[in-house]
Amino acid sequence: MDSAPISDRTAFILANTRLRPVPLVPEISLHIADEAVPLWQKTEEDLGKMGLPPPFWAFA
């Protein structure tokens, strides 16, 4: 189970993504990273400190 408080995870997502509509489905919006590589590196670094593998499923 994740030990980071929900507020920390939420703050991380909000700081590193922007809410954008889904093409062809404008009523749905997703938090999308403008630059995936820096976000991937930050995630890998933070999870590495906790001894966890990176979430490959989170980066399409």
Pick from 3, 29, 7: nearest CA to 18: 29
Structure tokens at 27: 């009523």
Give CA 6 to chain center in angstroms: 13
pLDDT over 70 (residue 39): yes
Q: What is the pLDDT of residue 43?
A: 80
pLDDT tens for 3-37 read 666 678 888 888 888 999 999 998 999 998 877 78
One DSSP character per residue, 1-60 reads ---S-HHHHHHHHHHH-EEEEETTEEEEEEEE-S-HHHHHHHHHHHHHHTT----GGG--
